Amino acid sequence: MAHMAQNQASRKKGKKVTIENFYGGSTQGKEENEEEIQKNSEHASQNGNYQQALEDLKLELIQKMETFWKEKWEKEISCLTDKNAQLEKELEASNRRADKAEKQIQSLMTRIKHLEESEMIKQQESIKQTQTINELEENIKYLTEKVTDLENRGRRENLRIIGLPEKPEVNNKLDFILEEIIKENCPHVLEQGGKIEIERIHRTPSILNPQKTTPRNVIAKFKSFQVKEKILQEAKKKSFRYKGAPIRITHDLAANTLRDRKAWNTIFRKARELGLQPRINYPAKLTIYFQGKVWAFNKIEDFQAFAKKRPELCGKFDIQAQKARET
């Protein structure tokens, strides 16, 4: 093998290989071979060191790469762990907020339920109160009408004299003045003896208001309802006078009845202009004569509905327009 290596080395250097130098026949050949062998050994030794260094470098590079990626992944894992912990904290805080919000919602729902129940109770109470109020209003209306009727019945023997002059000589002897009025306007009504039995007679109101220019009314209460009715019927047939001055004699009615009658004034005047022969009957009922029939109305609304359905009367009894024109 040594001889073959020497021969190969000789070929590389271009020397002629002979049997002598191949087998070491000469000393010079031997020396050259030994030098060549030494050089080859050094070269081989250097090649071996290079391979070893390369292996060591690879190993070191691998170790560094492993260390680098290990540290990198450890950082990534640590960062992800921190993020995961932060997310867990946030999730826990969010869950706490959600629980708190749910409790608040439950509390609000409970309060809303209580309020709804309370509102329902209030509505029911309101309905009951409304029903009670309506019943009370109906009762008050009934009782008011009843009281008014009783008051009117208590005044059934009374007459109201309107327009009698406000003078001391008149006020001091109202009973004699009334007899003079009857003698002047309806003498046949006088009873036997030429006197009218009067229970009492007075001015109303009892106190004179100096700011009013019209005289106070006179209320006369008769002992006989029939006599009072005879005088009233005569007063409806013609205008009464006292010493030439016109006066009016009417029913003495309760204040509520007078107010209800007064509400018909505008319609009453217009109906009289149209020739409908209007009358105000007890207690405050309007009657008219229209198309050969007598029509009676207890409320103004009923009369207006009646007039709107009749072309001859439609638009002629607009109370607001008439009041505006009068104003």
As a whole number of angstroms, the distance between CA 215 and CA 193 comes to: 31
The pLDDT score that the predictor gives to residue 29 is: 52
Q: Which two tokens stand for residue 303?
A: 């009369």
The pLDDT score that the predictor gives to residue 46 is: 63
Closest residue by Cα to residue 20 from 297, 28, 278: 28
The pLDDT score that the predictor gives to residue 42 is: 61
Q: Which two tokens stand for residue 13?
A: 């250097």
The pLDDT score that the predictor gives to residue 121 is: 92
Cβ proximity of 283 and 149 under 8 Å: yes
Cis previous bond, 205, omega within 30: yes
Flag whether pLDDT at 160 surpasses 90.
yes
Q: Could you give the angle at which helices 2-13 and 27-154 cross, rounded to 10 degrees?
A: 90
Cβ proximity of 289 and 276 under 8 Å: yes
Residue with tokens 């607009």: 318
Flag whether pLDDT at 13 surpasses 90.
no
At 286 the three-state DSSP class reads strand
Q: What's the pTM? A: 0.55
Amino acid (one-letter) located at 77? I
Task: Tell me the CA distances in angstroms from 5 to 29, 38, 107, 239, one per residue in order.
Answer: 14, 12, 102, 177
The pLDDT score that the predictor gives to residue 60 is: 84
As a whole number of angstroms, the distance between CA 52 and CA 45 comes to: 11
Report residue 153 CA to chain centroid gap: 49
The pLDDT score that the predictor gives to residue 4 is: 44
The pLDDT score that the predictor gives to residue 43 is: 61
Flag whether pLDDT at 142 surpasses 80.
yes
**112-123 average pLDDT score:** 90
What integer best gives the mean pLDDT of the chain? 82
**50-74 average pLDDT score:** 85
Cβ proximity of 196 and 170 under 8 Å: no
**244-259 average pLDDT score:** 89
Closest residue by Cα to residue 141 from 256, 283, 289, 45: 256
Flag whether pLDDT at 18 surpasses 60.
no
Closest residue by Cα to residue 223 from 156, 306, 301, 128: 156
